[in-house]
Structure 1
Amino acid sequence: MKRGAQAAIEYLFMLAAVLVLVLYAAKVVLNGTKQMTNQINNYVKTVREQVLEGL
């Protein structure tokens, strides 16, 4: 009984570690996506202003 409880606790700790890693990876991906979106919006704004100046 003691060994089974220890195995269950070890399994829960591993599961918690995996969840932390997944959350960290999701945060990195979302921050990257946000930065890329901002850069694309700035580029589009600049190109739009250049096109309007050329008219």
Structure 2
Amino acid sequence: MLKGEVMRLFPTYATCDLCHNADLELISNDDTGLMLLCMECGFARAAKAQEMFQNFTICA
């Protein structure tokens, strides 16, 4: 690490807020828009803008 460099404390990839699994699907909800669905526990949350540029399985 270089002098003055800041180490990242959080992962740069999306994880489930409930179980911290990284196996997520990007889904579309008519009421809330784009959401991330955890494939392990089923928890869903609104997707953040920075998470839109990751590799996801997109369901139609």
| TM-score w.r.t. length of structure 1 | 0.22
Which structure carries more helix by proportion? 1
